[in-house]
Structure formats: structure tokens, C-alpha cells
Amino acid sequence: MTKSYTVAVVGATGLVGRMMTTILEEQNFPVGRLIPLASARSEGMEVLFHGKPVKVQTLTGESFAGVDFALFSAGASTSKEFSPKAAAHGAVVIDNSSAFRMDPDVPLVVPEVNPEDAFKHHGIIANPNCSTIQMVVALKPLHDAFGIKRVVVSTYQSVTGAGKKGVNQLDDEIAKVPLREQKFPHPIAFNILPHIDVFLPDGYTKEEQKMMLETKKIMGADIPVTATTVRVPVFGGHSEAVNIEFERPCSPEEARSILSRAPGIIVQDDPSKNLYPMPIHAYGKNEVFVGRIRKDFSIPNGINLWIVSDNIRKGAATNAVQIAELLISRMK
Ligand SMILES: NC(=O)c1ccc[n+]([C@@H]2O[C@H](COP(=O)([O-])OP(=O)(O)OC[C@H]3O[C@@H](n4cnc5c(N)ncnc54)[C@H](OP(=O)(O)O)[C@@H]3O)[C@@H](O)[C@H]2O)c1
């Protein structure tokens, strides 16, 4: 008989938490018991799992008795308080917040890039930032082939990256109704904000810093990255314009061929047919889409590419469930 696992989803009523439940179901993850957890605000709510309603419970320190996997997506302060408690109960925590990502004792894992790191955990594994995940999935096979010297990235990030409140603000602004709540400091409908997460003293935003630091940790290489992260009025996923400078020559044809064979990537690159990745197409899919692969004529060994992925799926829930799948693949 296949072993089954007790899985707690912390933040089960949020955008990422709901998607966690969906992905567990879609992937047929062997869940013996699902425990959806959220704040006291969600007391009495239910989530559907394999067609059956499951009551959402209020998160407490005692929520984790008998839990094998605790998938956290309820913000950094909740993770800081409750992840160690879950780990102390014997659960493996896969945390979507920024709480532990740069902690040297916590692996930061993208299964297509550094799967072995997952097995070095001491109870907590961190899921990287959504914009970083989709970028490193594409960077890794290119780095292995040509050696990356430097990356310059500009993002075009969906409002779904800001959770339920971000989606509500764009919905309400488009419908021209009073805002239920204001998530962004300016209107987002028909606008663009060069501002994601808080500003740091050096002038970068924390989202930009996450892309720069997390890339090095996941890739296990000191790759310099400079980033500009931008919020756009889009629901379906995050897009990124990425410029890569290599140690060795890399033609667009070689890059296209390597990316086409890399795990988790679908190349969509045929300008003659107006074929390139778009968030409207990536929405609802688990892969990372890459296109607009072309030479950078301003440097000796450079290419430009365009990367799109559904940030709630590969950027969060899918990646977390893949990590759990990786771990159980060696538990049998
Ligand atoms: N959206 C993305 O693309 C993305 C990607 C990667 C990582 N993340 C991270 O995932 C986390 C959640 O993001 P989201 O987009 O799903 O946000 P969201 O839609 O706002 O949902 C937040 C969830 O956290 C729960 N929560 C908040 N405070 C809590 C508390 N004190 N105790 C227990 N539960 C609490 C909420 O429960 P109630 O409904 O009861 O309030 C809700 O279930 C954040 O850390 C975020 O940085 C998000």
C-alpha cells in the first residue's frame, strides 16, 4: 500500500494556500489527511479537497501534532513564530515566506536547479521568491553550458504576487467601485509601479534584493544580478526581460536548443507567428515559458530573453509541492 502523509497548509484561505490544495490534488500527492490552517478570521470556512469540504482551523502552536509536511504561506511573521513549532513536532516545513530564505541552515530550493539541497534540511526548507524561481529555472541550464558572468533583469509582476488584497484593488479600480482595501500606494489599474515590497536604504526594493541574493544561494554560484522589479496591472503571471552575459560564446540557437531540453521549461519563440510567452497564456500552467531569445549585440557573449510563469503556481505552490514530492521519493 502507498504510504500517505498528513499535510498542513498554513494560510489555506489565501491565494497561495488555496493553490497549494489544488496542486496537491492535481499532482495526486499521497495526502492521508489535510489540515487547512488560517487566522481566527477564517474560523468556520471550508476548503474543498478532492470534492470534499474540509474545515479550516485556527492556527495555534498545537496545530502540528502528527503532521508530516507543513506548507506555510501566511507571511513572514507567522512563519517565524510557527515554523519552528511545526518542525519541533516532527513536521518538515516548506515555507513560502521570506522568513528563512537567507538563513545558512535552511536550504532554498528549486527542484529543477538544486534538488540535492532539499535533503540537507533540519526541519525547514524555504521556497524562493516567485520572480527568482522562474528566472533560475532558465538560468541554470545556460550557466551549466556557458558560465554566467552577469544578469540584468527587469520584471513585470502580476498583482496576484501581492495576495488577495492586490487582486481586490485591481478588480475594484477596473470596476470603478470604492476600494475594499488599498494594497498598493498608488492606483494600479492602467498604471505601472516601479516598487515591489519596501524600499531599502541603498535605493533598491526588498523584492530586487531578494532576486539578487536568492539567485546566488540557489545556483550555488556568485553570479552578479541587478534587478528592477515592477508591478503591472496583470492577473495571470510574472514576466521578466533578462539580459545575460556569459563567460563563453552562446548563440541564440544554442540557448534555444538547451532551454527546449531543460526540465520545467517550454520554449515559445517564433516571431514569424507572433509566438512568445505571455501571462495570459502562462496562467494556470506549472511550467516556465521562455521566448524572444536573441543576441545582445552590445557585448561579446550576451543574449536577451523573456521569461513568463504563473507566480502562484511555479512561483509558489507548485514549487513547494515539488519539494515535498522530492522528499517522499526517497522516503519509500
Ligand atoms: N502571491 C505570490 O505570488 C507569492 C509567491 C511566493 C510567496 N508568497 C508568500 O506567500 C505568503 C502568502 O501569500 P498570499 O499571496 O497567499 O497572501 P494572501 O492571499 O493575503 O493570504 C494570506 C494567508 O495567510 C493567512 N494568515 C495571515 N495572517 C495569519 C496569521 N496571523 N495566522 C494564520 N494565518 C494567517 C491568511 O488567513 P486569513 O484568510 O484567515 O486572513 C491567508 O490564508 C506570503 O508570505 C507571500 O510573501 C506569495
Q: Select from 9, 13, 16, 80 the residue to mutate for testing ligand 1; criterion: most ligand atoms less than 8 Å from CB.
A: 16
The CA angle 281-284-288, to the nearest 5 degrees, is 65
Mean pLDDT of 254-270: 98
Among residues 159, 156, 185, 155, which one has the least CA distance to residue 171?
Answer: 159
Ligand 1 centroid – CA 59 distance (Å): 13
Q: Which neighbouring-strand residues pair with 95?
A: 72, 126
The per-residue pLDDT of the chain, averaged, comes to 97
Beta carbons within 10 angstroms of residue 75's beta carbon: 17
What sign results for the dihedral spanned by CA atoms 262, 265, 271, 273? Answer: positive
15 CB near ligand 1 (under 6 Å): yes
Beta carbons within 10 angstroms of residue 65's beta carbon: 10
Residue 1's pLDDT is 65
- pLDDT tens column, 80-112: 999 999 999 999 999 999 999 999 999 999 999
- pLDDT tens column, 171-224: 999 999 999 999 999 999 999 999 999 999 999 999 999 999 999 999 999 999
Mean pLDDT of 262-282: 98
Element (H, E) at 303: strand 302-309
Residue 228's pLDDT is 98
Which grid cell sits at 322?
A: 515539488
Known active-site residue 238: yes
In the chain, domain spans:
5-128+316-329, 131-311
Provide the 3-class DSSP secondary structure of residue 315. Answer: helix
Alpha-carbon torsion, ordered 219, 160, 304, 144, to 10 deg: 20
Q: Which neighbouring-strand residues pair with 266?
A: 289
Q: What is the 3-state secondary structure (H, E, C) of 97-138?
A: CCCCCCCCCCCECCCCCCHHHHHHCCCEEECCCHHHHHHHHH
Nearest CA to ligand 1 atom 4: 161
Residue 2's pLDDT is 78
Q: State how far the Cα of 324 lies from the Cα of 211, in Å rounded to an integer.
A: 23
Which grid cell sits at 166?
A: 492586490
Known active-site residue 130: yes
Give the pairing of strands 302-309 and 238-246.
antiparallel
Ligand 1 centroid – CA 73 distance (Å): 5
Residues 42/17, Cβ–Cβ less than 8 Å:
no
Beta carbons within 10 angstroms of residue 161's beta carbon: 26
96 CB near ligand 1 (under 6 Å): yes
Out of 89, 121, 238, 250, the active site residue is: 238
Q: State how far the Cα of 20 lies from the Cα of 22, in Å rounded to an integer.
A: 5
For the cut 80, the answer to whether the pLDDT of residue 259 exceeds it is yes
The superfamily CATH assigns to domain 5-128+316-329 is NAD(P)-binding Rossmann-like Domain (3.40.50.720)
Q: At what angle do helices 318-329 and 15-26 cross, to 10 degrees?
A: 40
Residues 229/132, Cβ–Cβ less than 8 Å:
no
Provide the 3-class DSSP secondary structure of residue 188. Answer: coil
Q: State how far the Cα of 30 lies from the Cα of 297, in Å rounded to an integer.
A: 50
- pLDDT tens column, 145-186: 999 999 999 999 999 999 999 999 999 999 999 999 999 999
Q: State how far the Cα of 72 lies from the Cα of 20, in Å rounded to an integer.
A: 10
- pLDDT tens column, 60-81: 999 999 999 999 999 999 999 9
Q: Which neighbouring-strand residues pair with 56?
A: none
Provide the 3-class DSSP secondary structure of residue 199. Answer: strand
Residue 331's pLDDT is 86
Residue 332's pLDDT is 63
CATH number for the segment(s) 131-311: 3.30.360.10
For the cut 80, the answer to whether the pLDDT of residue 263 exceeds it is yes
Residues 108/45, Cβ–Cβ less than 8 Å:
no
